[in-house]
Amino acid sequence: MEHSIALISGTTSGVGYATACALAAEGWQEIIVTERSLEHAQQTAAQLAAETRIKVFTPLELDLDKPVSVQSTLDELIKRGRSIDFLMLNADMVPDKRVMAAGVEAAQAPLLGYHQLIAGLLRANLLDPNARIVIAGSEATRAHVPTFSFVDVADLVTEHFRNDRSAAVEALLRSTPSVKDEASRAYIESKLIITWWAAALARRLPSGMAVFAAGTATDTKVVRNASPALKYLFIPIVSPIPSMNQTPETAPLWYVQGAEFGTEDSAQFFASAQGTFTGPIEAMRHLQFHDPANQEGAWQAVVNVSGVDLFTEHP
């Protein structure tokens, strides 16, 4: 891929910041760094330029939790009129029992922003025909991770939703009374839903484009909104264990690899081998990632909640 224009969300620190550094070192011509405020984006761009001694960073305001902000960002990108080759979406929010403007739980809100942004870029022809999209996921969605679990959607559908898979996923997005309100569960489910949505997106992208989800580090500022149990008990315990943590300095290499993956790998969830949180990444074969019913249910749920489809926007 020609290293032309990349856009990264969530670049203040951690994985997003380190990925921007890595792309600059690889010779990308322009790296658009985004933050919830333009002031923070400008500060980040200046810091990146000073650290790397490379002046390729363009600041842009983008709050993926707010549809108005996403649309404003799209309007600005349309004005510039230059297509994006590599899009990395990295906006984590550990559940803190807040409900966002769209009526979804805080951990689920960034996915709606991802969806709105990509739909807008496609409608405006602002993704290169060979664009690569990488979504930050979580290693813990593989299951068998202490304190983390997720609801069996098939059981949820049968018990509460009369075999309507999209209604069940929407209930998870909104954290309705029909599903348990547990912070660790909600966070992992948000990441699992992202892998389903990304797989459904892959089937809808033009043939030359590809989208991937990939596991991410635990050592980031995502924990700033975590529950006390996660922030002060679980994370401090597992972070020092070599096989349970990927630092923000090494994790970006996973995402940079995504810019070079072929279309045959589109729709896959990549993470390190089972039993470790470090090392080379590989496509995950766990059944929870490959259920087409869950993938399409997630897609339709996001469309229903956001009011945005790829080429149609509803009131």
Cβ proximity of 171 and 269 under 8 Å: no
Distances (CA, A) of 123 to 7, 83, 86: 17, 12, 17
Q: Which two tokens stand for residue 276?
A: 């470790």
Report the run of H or E that residue 269 belongs to, with start and end. Answer: strand 269-272
* Calculated CA dihedral for residues 26, 28, 32, 35, nearest 10 degrees: 0
In the three-class reduction of DSSP (H, G, I as helix; E, B as strand; rest coil), residue 178 is classed as coil
Pairwise CA distance, residues 167 & 241, whole Å: 39
Q: Which two tokens stand for residue 220?
A: 């980031």
List helix spans (H) across 107-240. Answer: 109-123, 153-160, 165-174, 183-204, 228-229, 235-238
Q: How many Cα atoms sit within 13 Å of 229 on the Cβ side?
A: 9
For the chain, give every domain's residue range: 5-306
Pairwise CA distance, residues 94 & 186, whole Å: 8
Distances (CA, A) of 15 to 130, 155, 205, 308: 24, 35, 26, 28
CATH architecture classification, 5-306: 3-Layer(aba) Sandwich (3.40)
Q: Print pLDDT tens along the chain (315 aa).
A: 567 999 999 888 788 898 999 999 999 999 999 999 999 999 999 999 999 999 999 999 999 989 999 999 999 999 999 999 999 998 755 545 555 555 777 778 889 999 999 999 999 999 999 999 999 877 777 765 555 556 677 777 777 787 788 988 888 888 665 665 555 567 778 888 999 999 999 999 999 999 998 876 544 454 444 444 444 444 444 444 444 445 555 667 777 777 778 888 888 888 777 656 566 777 777 777 888 999 999 999 999 999 998 876 543
Pairwise CA distance, residues 308 & 56, whole Å: 32
